Amino acid sequence: MGRFTLENHPIVFDPVQRLENPLSWATHIPFAMLLVDLLRPRVLVELGVHTGNSYFAFCQAVRRLGAPTRCHGVDTWQGDTHAGFYDDAIYQDVAGHNQRFADFSTLHRRPFDQAAPEFGAGQIELLHIDGLHTYEAVAHDYETWAPRVSPTAGVILFHDTQVRERGFGVWRFWREISEGRVAYEFKHGSGLGVLAVGTALPEPFLDLLDQASRSPFLEDFFASRGTELVASHVLARDCRPRPERQARLYVDTGLGYNEKESFAKAITAKTMAFSWDFPEDLPVKHLRFDPADDLCIVRLRRVAVNGQDLPLADCLEPETNFLKQNWDILFFGTLDPQIHVRLPATLEGPIARVAFELEYLLEEEACYHRIVALYDEILRQQACDMRHKDATLAQTTGELDQLKAAFARETAAFEKARQQHLANEIELRTELSRRKYHLPNPKFWKIAQPLRPLKAKLEEFFGGPKRP
Ligand SMILES: C[S@@+](CC[C@H](N)C(=O)[O-])C[C@H]1O[C@@H](n2cnc3c(N)ncnc32)[C@H](O)[C@@H]1O
């Protein structure tokens, strides 16, 4: 089998050309570029492009490698309930960037189902499914598009296989679809499932999946390389003049979070008090407060709704995406930090006023360095945990083997005892029957056999056999 080695694929170390919010896919970019190198697909389709982090990573690799790939990105560029709804500026920006790849890349601005008939059966060699993340939506996208994937050279990617909140269901669909198939799931970056569909895929690609499933090295490598790539891009971006930083409150009135129902305020000081008043008839269902549009480390001092202070220890929903929390200090390692507010059950009447008070703990650059160090720390800890789990697994496997051997010995001994018991039982039953029906003892019967005709004669002479 053709072996996979990282040294044959220097593209995994390429810097990324474009990175935009949201960054949830971004740590998979080194793997995306490697896939293009390994598979050299003739047709690549992405369902769900948004700001283009994954799509343009594929395009960047196609350009760099001179691969014979036609790329197609499909999206309504309106958003959905999981990604949030957004305005036309995103599509304009993506379409502008796509000009660089216009010789091989086409954007299809329409619903996935409308774009599907544009692709023939078995035509797509690399399909990336990253639209709405409910179980029903991902199952529908798979069923609609899988027949268009090549039965010999096809690979399908699923993003967000690790997210189990807000009605995400890719994890469940992935568990079902990957069962018993050639597949691997990266756990970092919200999870990326790689499903090998084709029967004649390149051997180094299959070897990569095999190696990844046998050792944590490749998962560790792609997680840390992806994080490094995102962090270095963010650091480089910091050297450019940036517009003023902003905090933003999002209000979900039943349509999910979207830019239209959001309110921004500039961050002008190290300690800031923000407050917003709403009209009485605004049906506020959920609140999300983004403390900055950048990496940040903040101390949360106060969260209040209708003038009532919420207990800080209990006012964050689990969707709050900090990297680490130390009491009231939140470390956000993302350009899209989000505090999801847990509204008190005792709240009376509509939400009319919301207030936050927080302190921004480090200047931008120091903050970037601290966050990068924190990512490193977390990755080291994860690698250490993985090694520990590996060692525990090896030990448990050893113990299990010993138990299996002991069990096999016990089973053999038991079987022998059972056979013996059976033989004893037969002997006993035979003896009982013999006694019951007055049959001669077999040993005695053998010895007495030659005398039997004489015995019969004697019995005949004395008038029949004697019975006790
Ligand atoms: C999770 S985002 C894609 C993220 C992107 N791959 C990245 O790298 O950041 C999902 C996108 O799918 C789009 N979408 C969801 N369902 C769709 C559908 N049925 N048809 C077209 N676009 C859809 C949304 O507009 C949204 O932009």
Tens of pLDDT, residues 308-324: 999 988 899 999 999 88
**Residue 180 and residue 82 share a domain:** yes
Amino acid found at 137? A
- Sole residue written with tokens 């690799």: 61
pTM equals 0.61
- Distance (Å, whole) CA 123 – CA 102: 20
Tens of pLDDT, residues 155-213: 999 999 988 877 889 999 999 999 999 999 999 888 999 999 999 999 999 999 999 98
Cβ of 131 less than 6 Å from ligand 1: yes
**Residue 121 and residue 79 share a domain:** yes
**Residue 225 and residue 319 share a domain:** no
397 vs 75, residue with greater confidence: 75
CB count within 10 Å of CB 342 equals 16
Question: Across all residues in the chain, what is the average pLDDT?
Answer: 88
The answer as to whether 190 is a domain residue is yes
CA-CA distances (angstroms) from residue 89 to 5, 51, 95, 96, 99?
41, 10, 10, 10, 16
**Residue 155 and residue 13 share a domain:** yes
The answer as to whether 22 is a domain residue is yes
Tens of pLDDT, residues 220-269: 889 888 888 887 777 676 555 566 889 999 999 888 898 888 999 999 99
Helices (H), 195-337: 203-214, 217-238
Based on the structure, what is the number of domains in the chain? 2
Cβ of 233 less than 6 Å from ligand 1: no
**Residue 293 and residue 178 share a domain:** no
**Residue 303 and residue 174 share a domain:** no
Cβ of 219 less than 6 Å from ligand 1: no
**Residue 18 and residue 116 share a domain:** yes
- Cβ atoms of residues 71 and 44 within 8 Å: yes
**Residue 222 and residue 111 share a domain:** yes
Cβ of 256 less than 6 Å from ligand 1: no
How confident is the model at residue 468, as a pLDDT? 45
**Residue 208 and residue 111 share a domain:** yes
- Choose one of 204, 238, 272: the last residue of a domain: 238
CATH code of 123's domain: 3.40.50.150
DSSP state of 134: S
- Choose one of 238, 258, 275: the last residue of a domain: 238
The answer as to whether 1 is a domain residue is no
The reply to whether omega before 440 is within 30° of 0 (cis) is no
Q: Which of 80, 110, 112, 160 to mutate to test the pocket of ligand 1 (most atoms within 8 A of CB)?
A: 80
- Sole residue written with tokens 């993003």: 159
CA of 169 to the centre of ligand 1 (A): 15
Owning domain of residue 313: 246-361
Residue among 302, 236, 252 nearest 272 (CA): 302
CA of 100 to the centre of ligand 1 (A): 21
- Choose one of 334, 361, 388: the last residue of a domain: 361
Residue nearest (by alpha carbon) to ligand 1 atom 22: 75
**Residue 285 and residue 321 share a domain:** yes
Q: Which atom of ligand 1 is nearest to the CA of 111?
A: 20
The answer as to whether 289 is a domain residue is yes
Tens of pLDDT, residues 4-34: 888 889 898 888 888 888 888 989 999 999 9
Give me the torsion for CA of 8, 183, 231, 65, rounded to 10°: 40
